[in-house]
Amino acid sequence: MRLMFDRRLVYHFDLVLMLLMLGIIGLGTASVYSASFDPSSTRASAFAWRQAMWATCGVVAAFAMITFDYRKLERYAYVAYGAGLLLLIAVPLVGSMTNGSRRWLDFGPFSVQPSEMMKLALIVVLARYFHRKMRPEGLRLRDLVMPLLLTLPPVALILAQPDLGTAGVFCFVAASMVVLAGPSTRTYGIIAAAALSMVPGLPYFLSHLKPYQLKRLETFLNPELDPLGAGYHVIQSKIAIGSGGFSGKGFLHGTQNQLKFLPEQHTDFIFSVFSEEWGFVGAIVLISLYLALMLRGLVVVGRAKERFGALLAFGVLANVFWQAVINLGMTTGLLPVVGITLPFFSYGGSSLVTLMAGLGLVINVNMRRFSPERIPNF
Amino acid sequence: MQLNSPQGPNELRRRLLLSGLGVAGLFAGIGLRLYKLQVGEGETWRSLSENNRIRLQRLTATRGLIYDRNGEPLVDNRPSFDVVIVPEDTKDLAATILRVAEFLGADQFNVKTLLAAARARPPYEGLIIKRDVDYSAVVTLETHQLELPGVSLDVGPLRTYPYGPVGAHLFGYVGEVSESELDKHQGYRMGDLIGKFGAEKSWEARLRGVPGGQQIEVDALGRKLRVLSRVPQTQGNNMILTVDRRLQSFTEQLMAEHDGAVVVLRPDNGEILTLVSKPTFDPNVFARGIKRDEWRDLTNNKTRPLNNRAIQGQYPPGSTFKIVTAAAALEEGAVTPFTSIFCGGGYHFANRTYRCWKKGGHGTVDLHRALVESCDVYFYQVGQRLGVDTIADYAQRLGMGAATGIALDHEKPGLIPTSAWKRARYGEPWFSGETLSVAIGQGYVLATPLQMANVIATVANGGTRYRPHFVRRIENASGELVEEIQPEALGNAGLRKSTLLQIREALRDVVNASNGTGKKAKLPTIEVGGKTGTSQVFKMGKQIKTHNLARHLRDHAWFVAFAPVDAPEIAISVLIEHAGGGGGAMAAPIAHDIADFYFALTRGRSYQLSTGTGGNEA
């Protein structure tokens, strides 16, 4: 705790990153407020209040994440990974059912999504692994076996929930970290060849998708096929975003949103709510905030004292990035609707708190880039 | 790069730079996508979002009510629960309709027709699939609301005719607008109600009112949230008829056993007090949506209940036409009141014997007696002296041979033959023998009961022919006068006072003299004038007892009357189809009862109801 008051640490606290994140959270909470706004009621929306409460918890979590030297995490990486895995295993046994899938664990007054915590644990564990395996000539294929074995169990468990989107994000995050760690040219070649050889297996894969997932794929390719069924989400979302026009319909005046045409408006489709009300101008501002957050984060990665920190920060950023891209892609009709929330923006406690904790780690990495090497490299 | 990258700081920097570019590239791609959606296609999406939430809803105007001359409601609206489907809110329209049919416990929906109607209707507009469901159906549908998205119950006004079949031919009925009507009339939509028959049809424009509309905002489930703008509907106008409901009901009862028609009107202005056509129908079945088999029964019925016999039935007027012949004879000087003609029971002309209805003959008769006793031979000879074209001239002056122009559809003109008409129609010259038949209202002559009412009214009022009408006032919903229908004089028959007096005296004795053919119409305290008529449907070589004849070959019985003779207030025309008896026996008692009832209504307590019919002879 002594380190917390080190003036150098305070000096290197990345306020820009923190403010960018809080800016996005602020806009998000406002949108959650609008999405759950009930003009007939004078009470402020419960969702917005809860989101603000979760954001406060998140700030606490983020600050908790900078109180210790991030390198300590290396030591507890597998403990965290094992704990996360246990929680994930608990989900199908005692989890609660929503919308046909089991993704939540109930803890009295609130429920958590173990997959969110697992994501952080996987990032830490992969960072630790690659930290040790990075070599000048690049990663060999056999260096990728362990990451694959680490990634597969949570992905399989999450696929079983079923939550195709989150499982995909896991893979994207792991792949991003692999790319940063740097496979050798030969490894890339083998992966590419293996990927190509997988193509004939595609029909088999498709036949094992759940009917609703297949339907989402089909309607992604042609939403008009089923305008009131599976294609409804995409069409309504595009109507919401498109009708926002250049300057938007104004806060709380999004008709698509207020009249409940938008599905899952405070979670997956919160961006549609935002874009309808704030228009192109607002959407560009929001995307710029994300871009700035990313670029600032990458600078942190580049300045990190050692590989573990760089990999850790990069993994956290990759998670934010892929979630954002997939969510924005699906709400604008570029990608199939896979149920991914917009990071820092969508309503959801577990997600927000873990994301903020993750960003706390990035800030931690930045703060401690000048710290003496007190923790031995073991 | 401070950290000890095994691949060197440059390699890591390169990867981060590439990552940064990748991030920026993907975000830029999303930015472009947003530009396309929001700026490029913004207008399109905006209009889609408006369509999503704004629906135009029609506000149908409440149809005007119809009252009788005393303010008694004849045609009313009552609330009814209608089952409405918004096809856009259903998953599968046909399946939903079948499901509703299941709940209502009937296979009463023509799914094909409903689907066609759904296509013809503007998007998001509700389609009424069943009107006036009963309470148990309301409860059932409310209970299963969740299984039936897009189905709702609306309370709408339902046209009701509290007296059922009474006056059905006059008041008419409403029904859903048909496709051909949609082409003809502007401002109607599928599912709207429109007057189909009778006054409901003739006065459609007045009764309907002006539909309004409102833009409502709905949510994703199609639930109405609020009204954005509204053009209020204007309620239809109320009509006050000239009809007296009590007399109408009474007359319908009198005619319960008969097919035929009765018209009662006021001779001094043409106001119709009663118009009955039998058999009749119940307009209520149309208002709630007629079922196919009900419609088939009505239209295939041989007695044709939908036919308004008072204006569409064309019958030989028989002896009632002698009024016309008598008027022509006096005006033209063919006879004087004192001219006598011998009736020996028949008249030989052109190698044929034209019989009088009275086998033994009437002996020597003058015009007065000829009318009172309805001597055919007298009128054969008078007709011969006049010629068919002269008779036709007087018949036309009294309004025969042309539609009266009453505000009802499909009125028939009847037929008054002339020599020119026969040449044009058959390419043959007129034969003198045919004039004899015309003179007693047989042969080609055809008249509607309404026309005969107008003839007797014209004779009764001194020669002015009025257009028969049944609407007195039109008022708006708040009771302000919109239009007052004035009596319309169509012309004067141009008959001398002496002629009219002579005829009226004769008609008085038809009812009141001991030798009159219409004695059964006699009232104890008020003088009735009238004329009987028995028109042959089938020409016989020799007389056959009527009860041996097939019903459809039996004679029609006529009686036309007016009362009181000296200051006429009502003119009555009674026709009984295939009565199986003469006008004096069959029709006169009905006219008697009508007049009796009328005077009981108008004279109040001072009037003494007749206890029995005046006489028992034909």
Domain-located, residue B262:
yes
Which residues of chain A does B42 touch, with a Cβ-Cβ cutoff of 8 Å?
A: 242-246, 280
pLDDT, residue B106, reads 63
ipTM for the predicted complex comes to 0.89
| Residue pair B523/B594 in contact by the 8 Å Cβ criterion | no
Yes or no, beta carbons of B23 and A301 under 8 Å apart: no
CA neighbor of A365 nearest in space, from A3, A13, A62, A70: A70
Best interface-test mutation with A: which of B11, B27, B93 has the largest number of A CBs within 10 A? B27
Q: What b/e sequence results for B228-263 when a residue is b if at least 16 CB atoms lie within 10 Å of its CB, and e otherwise?
A: eeeeebbbbbbbbbbbbbbbbbbbbebbeebbbbbb
The DSSP H or E segment spanning B49 is helix B42-53
- Beta bridge pairs of residue B210: B234
- The mean per-residue pLDDT over the stretch B342-355 comes to 89
Distance (Å) from the C-alpha of residue B144 to the closest C-alpha of chain A?
21
Q: Which one of B80, B152, B202, B319 is the catalytic residue?
A: B319
pLDDT band at B232, cuts 50/70/90?
confident
Which residues of chain A does B33 touch, with a Cβ-Cβ cutoff of 8 Å?
A: 332-334
Please give the tally of structural domains in chain A. Answer: 1
User: What are the tokens at B55?
Assistant: 């629906």
Q: Per this entry, what is the length of chain B?
A: 618
- The mean per-residue pLDDT over the stretch B251-272 comes to 95
Whether B482 and chain A come into contact, CB under 8 Å, resolves to no
> What whole-number distance in Å separates Cα of residue B455 and Cα of residue B530?
11
Q: Indicate if the pLDDT at residue B419 is higher than 80.
A: yes
Yes or no, beta carbons of A298 and B23 under 8 Å apart: yes
pLDDT, residue B614, reads 39
pLDDT, residue B184, reads 82
Domain-located, residue B44:
no
Domain-located, residue B608:
no
Block mean pLDDT (10 aa), chain A, length 378? 60 90 94 78 72 93 91 91 91 73 69 86 94 86 92 91 87 94 89 87 78 70 56 80 88 74 78 93 96 95 90 96 95 86 91 93 89 50
Find the closest chain B residue to A229 by CA distance: B91
Best interface-test mutation with B: which of A180, A239, A327 has the largest number of B CBs within 10 A? A239
Tell me the pLDDT tens digit for each residue of B444-470. 999 999 999 999 999 999 999 999 999
Find the closest chain A residue to B10 by CA distance: A302
Yes or no, beta carbons of A325 and B6 under 8 Å apart: no
Yes or no, beta carbons of B5 and A242 under 8 Å apart: no
CB-nearest partner of B31 from A182, A279, A284 = A284
Distance (Å) from the C-alpha of residue A130 to the closest C-alpha of chain B?
12
Which residues of chain A does B49 touch, with a Cβ-Cβ cutoff of 8 Å?
A: 239-240, 242-243, 255-256, 261, 276
Yes or no, beta carbons of A239 and B52 under 8 Å apart: yes
Statement to judge: residues B349 and B206 lie in one domain: no
CA neighbor of A122 nearest in space, from A64, A170, A176: A170
Interface of A with B in 177-196 (CB under 8 A): 179-180, 182
Whether B32 and chain A come into contact, CB under 8 Å, resolves to no
Contacts by B44-47, CB closer than 8 A, 24 or more apart: B44/A242, B45/A238, B45/A239, B45/A241, B45/A242, B45/A243, B45/A245, B46/A242, B46/A243, B46/A245
Which residues of chain B does A250 touch, with a Cβ-Cβ cutoff of 8 Å?
A: none
pLDDT, residue B220, reads 67
Please give the tally of structural domains in chain B. Answer: 3
Statement to judge: residues B366 and B486 lie in one domain: yes
User: Three-class SS string for B581-615?
Assistant: CCHHHHHHHHHHHHHHHHHHHHHHHHCCCCCCCCC
Q: Indicate if the pLDDT at residue B85 is higher than 90.
A: no
Domain-located, residue B39:
no
Domain-located, residue B42:
no
Strand B260-265 to B570-576 pairing:
antiparallel
CB-nearest partner of A182 from B2, B7, B217 = B7
Q: Per this entry, what is the length of chain A?
A: 378
Whether B527 and chain A come into contact, CB under 8 Å, resolves to no
User: In this prediction, what percent of chain B has a pLDDT beyond 70?
Assistant: 92
Q: Is B319 a catalytic residue?
A: yes
Whether B146 and chain A come into contact, CB under 8 Å, resolves to no
Interface of A with B in 259-288 (CB under 8 A): 259-261, 275-276, 279-280, 283-284, 287
Statement to judge: residues B354 and B491 lie in one domain: yes
Interface of B with A in 38-77 (CB under 8 A): 38-39, 41-46, 48-50, 52-53
Range of the domain at A342: 2-36+47-200+211-370
Out of B190, B218, B241, pick the residue that ends a domain. B241
Statement to judge: residues B231 and B254 lie in one domain: no
User: What are the tokens at A122?
Assistant: 């996987």
Q: Indicate if the pLDDT at residue B368 is higher than 90.
A: yes
Statement to judge: residues B273 and B130 lie in one domain: no
User: What are the tokens at A371?
Assistant: 């710290």
Distance (Å) from the C-alpha of residue A256 to the closest C-alpha of chain B?
7
Whether A135 and chain B come into contact, CB under 8 Å, resolves to yes
Q: Indicate if the pLDDT at residue B269 is higher than 50.
A: yes
Handedness of CA B74, B77, B82, B84 (dihedral sign): positive
Best interface-test mutation with B: which of A180, A224, A243 has the largest number of B CBs within 10 A? A243
Write down the pTM of the prediction: 0.63
Yes or no, beta carbons of B33 and A303 under 8 Å apart: no
Domain-located, residue A55:
yes
Domain-located, residue B73:
yes
Find the closest chain B residue to A176 by CA distance: B19
Greater model confidence, B167 or A228: B167
Domain-located, residue A378:
no
CB-nearest partner of A332 from B5, B15, B33 = B33
Domain-located, residue B48:
no
**Average pLDDT score over chain B:** 87
Residue A151, burial from CB neighbour count under 10 angstroms (0-12, 13-18, 19+): buried
Crossing angle (nearest 10°) for helices B42-53 and A232-244: 120
Yes or no, beta carbons of A260 and B2 under 8 Å apart: no
Range of the domain at B110: 56-241
Yes or no, beta carbons of A239 and B49 under 8 Å apart: yes
Quickly list H helices, chain A.
7-11, 15-35, 46-64, 72-94, 114-133, 145-159, 164-181, 185-198, 202-207, 211-221, 232-244, 255-258, 270-303, 307-331, 349-367
CB-nearest partner of B6 from A136, A279, A328 = A136
For residue B159, give the CATH number of its domain.
3.90.1310.10
Domain-located, residue B291:
no
- The mean per-residue pLDDT over the stretch B24-33 comes to 95
Tell me the pLDDT tens digit for each residue of B532-574. 999 887 554 444 455 556 667 788 999 999 999 999 999 999 9
Yes or no, beta carbons of A244 and B38 under 8 Å apart: yes
Which residues of chain B does A311 touch, with a Cβ-Cβ cutoff of 8 Å?
A: none
Domain-located, residue A120:
yes
Statement to judge: residues B222 and B257 lie in one domain: no
